[in-house]
Amino acid sequence: MDLNQLLHRHQVSLMSADAASGTEARCAHRGLAALYADRIRLLQHSLGAGSMLSRSPVVATMGSAE
């Protein structure tokens, strides 16, 4: 999967989390977004590029009650 595909899936996961009606679905989409963010960082690092994503705030909020 190339960088553009990963960025697209990351964005779709974040939008899906925002649109989710239940806590479980919201957490699942945020978890996917965090995994895509990790893959984006790894790919950027392997290409010698700086990360355009900071450590995902999604991970920090996954455990919080909403």
* Residue 66 pLDDT: 42
Q: Give the pLDDT confidence of 30-63 residue by residue, as tens digits.
A: 999 999 999 999 999 998 877 666 555 554 455 4
**Between 37 and 1, where is the model more confident?**
37
* Residue 60 pLDDT: 46
* Residue 5 pLDDT: 96
Q: SS3 of 7, please?
A: helix
* Residue 57 pLDDT: 52
Burial of 56 (0-12, 13-18, 19+ CB in 10 A): buried
pLDDT over threshold 50, residue 64: no
